[in-house]
Amino acid sequence: MLYFIRMSQKLLKLNNGFLAVFTATFVLGSATIMYALEPETFGKWFNALWYVMTTVTTVGYGDYFPKTDAGKLYAMLLYLFGIGLLSLVIGKIIDAFGTLKKRKEAGKLKYHGSGHVLIIGWSRRAQSAVEELLHGDPRIEVVLIDELDRSPLDEERVFFVSGDPSAETTLETAGLSRARAAIVFSDRAIDNAALADGKSLLIASSIERLAPHIHTTVEIVLEQHIQNFRHVQVNEFILSHEAVSRLAVRSAMHAGSISIFTQLLSSRVGEDVFEVAPRPEWKTYGDAFQGLLRLGATLLADRGDMTINRKLDEAMPAEARLFIVCDGPTYERIRATG
C-alpha cells in the first residue's frame, strides 16, 4: 500500500501532457494485455478496451469480465492502479478548467477573435458603452482593457484583458490588429485634466502606431487638446463635459428636443443611426434620399456631411458612406433588399 501511495504522489507531480500520454498508453496497453490473456472471453480487442474503460471508471456493466486466474490478477491491478490513475487525470482536467476560468477573470488570457470593439478604461461611461454595443448588435464581442485585478463584468460577450493599455503586449493580447474599432475613455482617477488627456493621447498613439487601420474614438476632457490628438490621426473625439452641457442647452432652448438626441444616442429607444451601402441605381443624393424614404428610412448624411437635403441633384460619389435614421427592423429590411 505504501508503494501505491508513493506512486500516487509522484503521479501528482507529473507534467499534464506526460500524464495524459501515460494514461492513454496504460489504458490501451491494458486492453491489449486483457485481450491477449483471454481472446475467447472478449472476442475482439475493442471489447477488451470497453472492459478496461468501464473498470477504471468504476461503471462496471458486467457484460465482459475475466474468467482465468491471469485475467483476474490483471483486473486486480486495474482496480488498484487504474482507477486511481484515471481519477487523478479527471481531477487534473477539472483543475485545469478552474485555472483557466481564474486566468480569464484576471485578464491573463489572449483574445483570439476578430471584428471586436476595444473599450479602454473602465468607468460608468465605459459600462454604458459596453451595454449599448451588446444591445445594438447581438453578434459583436467587446474586449475591455484596464489595469484592474479582475473583470468588472460577468458577461459572455465581454473579454477582459488586464494590463497597461498603452503597452504593445497588452494591445496584442487584446487582438488590436483584428479589432473593428477602439474607444478610449478618459481616466477619471486622474484629477488633473491635462494629465488625463495626456494618458489618453499616449494610448491613442500606441493604437495608431500598431494598427493605423483601426477606427479610434477618444474621450477628451479639454477641447484645446484636440489638435494633439489629430496629430496622431485619431478618427473621432468626444468632449465629455461639453456633450452634456450642449444637450442641456438644447433642452432649455427647444423644449422636447432632448428626446430626439436620446433616441439617436441609444439603440434601446426609438430610432437609431445606421450606415447603408450605396446602390447602383442611386446616381444622385436625391435618388438615394427618395429610395430610402420609400423603404421607411431618412437619409441623414454622407460621412460627416449633413447638407444632403441641399444637394439632392448632385452626383453621389462611389465612395460615399451613407447614414440613415430608422428603427432596427427597417434597417434589417433595407439590408436584406440591398
Mean pLDDT across the stretch 243-267? 67
Are 2-105 and 271-337 the same fold in CATH?
A: no
Task: Tell me the domain boundaries of the chain.
Answer: 2-105, 117-244, 271-337
φ, ψ for residue 137 (rounded to 5)?
-140, 110
Q: Measuring CA to CA, how many Å separate 138 from each of 30, 97, 141, 152, 322?
A: 50, 27, 9, 20, 23
Give the distance from CA 34 to its chain's centroid: 48
Cell of 41: 472471453
138: pLDDT confidence band, cut at 50, 70 and 90? confident
Q: Which residues does residue 117 pair with via DSSP β-bridges, in sequence order?
A: 142, 181
Residue 83 has pLDDT above 80, yes or no: no
pLDDT digit string, tens, across residues 150-178: 999 989 999 999 999 999 999 999 999 99
pLDDT band for position 1 (cuts 50, 70, 90): very low
Q: How far is CA 70 from CA 66, 74, 75, 102, in A?
A: 8, 6, 9, 47
pLDDT at 99: 80
Whether the Cβ atoms of residue 282 and residue 313 lie closer than 8 Å to each other? no
Q: Distance between CA atoms of 46 and 54, rounded to whole angstroms?
A: 12
- The CATH code belonging to domain 117-244 is 3.40.50.720
Least Cα distance to 81 among 105, 101, 52, 116 occurs for 52
Cβ density class 252-263: b for 16+ within 10 Å, e for less: eeeeeeeeeeeb
Q: What does the pLDDT read at residue 211?
A: 93
Give the lowest-confidence range in 45-54, 214-223, 265-274: 265-274
Average pLDDT over residues 263-273: 74
Return the pLDDT at 8.
54
Instruction: Identify the bridge partners of residue 161 per DSSP, sorted by sequence position.
Output: 145
What is the rounded average pLDDT for all residues in the chain?
A: 84
Q: Specify the fold of 271-337.
A: Alpha-Beta Plaits (3.30.70)
**2-105, CATH topology level:** Helix Hairpins (1.10.287)
Query: pTM for this one?
Result: 0.62
pLDDT of residue 13: 58
pLDDT above 90 covers a percentage of the chain that reads 36
Give, as one character, the DSSP assignment of residue 79.
I
pLDDT of amino acid 235: 80
Residues with Cβ within 8 Å of 246's Cβ and at least 6 positions away in sequence, in order, are none
Cα–Cα distances in Å, from 306 out to 225, 234, 281? 25, 21, 22
Q: In this structure, are strands 215-220 and 181-184 parallel, antiparallel, or unpaired?
A: parallel
pLDDT higher than threshold 50 for residue 215: yes
The pLDDT score that the predictor gives to residue 162 is 95
Three cell numbers, residue 227: 489638435
Give Cβ neighbours of residue 108 (< 8 Å, ≥ 6 apart): 162
Mean pLDDT of 89-117: 85
DSSP 313: T
Does position 7 have pLDDT exceeding 70, yes or no? no
Q: How wide is the angle at C-alpha 130 spanned by C-alphas 124 and 131, nearest 5°?
A: 90
Residues of the chain above pLDDT 70, percent: 88
Residue 278 banded pLDDT, cuts 50, 70, 90: very high
